[in-house]
């Protein structure tokens, strides 16, 4: 497991990963409320915010846009993915190699696994190859660990989320990204299960600012090392202001209410 103490992916031991692999995973409809952000440059600009310690994108966006941002953005190469057009249990095939990601200047590798599906064994085999290749290149690995499949009745079940973080530790990930298990106590248990592996909260679907930041605050208080967030930032009407607030919650350990400010709370921040 890589030492993250002096890594550019962390700041004081914490991370905010801006995720932008949604064009593959969800398609253009993800941008219907913010059509200008269908242009990846708009989101690359958001990734230059001081709060963002890494920017997660697929190969095509990295090749086309990252060279213009390599001095101001840390690249987390998302090396597998799938579209929402397919049916059946989720499976996320590899989409590019660690060697290619390293050639493009990646600072880290991201990879999704779906424990509990009938293709779990294939994804675990794929992950070990990616993890060992990343280790050879001195690149940390972030696992998106999302329990799915027939045995998983509730994706945010505390036991399932704790199992998901433990899988990240057991398979050699440096970071493991999981869904919020609906309480601080359950999040704390998931952090304990991960041992030295850094737990990142999944930002999830767009919600109002106070609800979202309160969830982040609870996760940080429970020991999470930060979060990987996409839609709550780039679907926001003022993404930079939300990143300002996230910076206060994650790195300065302010409350969600303080980070948003009294005026925003009194008027109801729902952007």
Q: Is the pLDDT of residue 266 over 60?
A: no
| Strand pairing class (198-202; 175-178) | parallel
Mean pLDDT taken over the chain? 95
228 pLDDT band (50/70/90 cuts)?
A: very high
CATH code for the part of the protein at 15-267? 3.20.20.70
Cα–Cα dist 133/213, whole Å: 35
pLDDT confidence of residue 4: 78
pTM of the predicted structure, to 2 decimals: 0.95
pLDDT value at residue 264: 56
- Interval 121-136: pLDDT, tens: 999 999 999 999 999 9
The ranges assigned to domains in the chain are 15-267
- Give the span between the Cα atoms of 69 and 187, in whole angstroms: 34
177 is catalytic: yes
Q: How confident is the model at residue 12 (pLDDT cuts 50, 70, 90)?
A: very high
- Position 270 scores a pLDDT of 53
Catalytic, out of 14, 78, 177, 248: 177
> What does the radius of gyration of the chain's CA atoms come to, in whole angstroms?
17
């Amino acid at each position: 497991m890589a030492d993250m103490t002096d890594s550019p992916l962390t700041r004081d031991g914490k991370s905010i990963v801006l995720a932008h692999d949604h064009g593959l995973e969800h398609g253009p409809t993800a941008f219907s409320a913010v059509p200008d952000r269908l242009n990846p440059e708009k989101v690359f600009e958001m990734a230059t915010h001081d709060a963002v310690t890494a920017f997660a994108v697929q190969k095509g966006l990295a090749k086309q846009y990252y060279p213009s941002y390599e001095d101001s953005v840390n690249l987390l190469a998302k090396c597998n993915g799938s579209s929402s057009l397919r049916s059946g249990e989720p499976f996320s095939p590899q989409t590019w190699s660690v060697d290619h990601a390293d050639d493009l200047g990646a600072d880290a590798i991201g990879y999704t696994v779906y424990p509990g599906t009938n293709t779990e064994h294939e994804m675990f085999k794929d992950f070990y190859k990616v993890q060992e290749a990343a280790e050879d290149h001195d690149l940390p690995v972030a696992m998106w660990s999302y329990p799915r499949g027939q045995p998983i009745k509730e994706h945010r079940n505390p036991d399932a989320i704790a199992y998901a973080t433990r899988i990240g530790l057991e398979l050699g990930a440096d970071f493991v990204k999981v869904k919020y298990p609906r309480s601080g106590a359950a999040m704390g248990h998931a952090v304990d299960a991960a041992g030295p592996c850094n737990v990142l909260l999944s930002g999830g679907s767009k919600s109002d600012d106070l609800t979202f930041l309160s969830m982040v605050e609870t996760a940080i208080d429970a020991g999470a090392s930060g979060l990987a967030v996409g839609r709550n930032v780039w679907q926001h009407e003022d993404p930079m202001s939300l990143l300002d607030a996230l910076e206060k919650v994650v790195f300065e350990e302010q409350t969600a209410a303080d980070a948003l400010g009294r005026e925003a709370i009194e008027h109801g921040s729902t952007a």
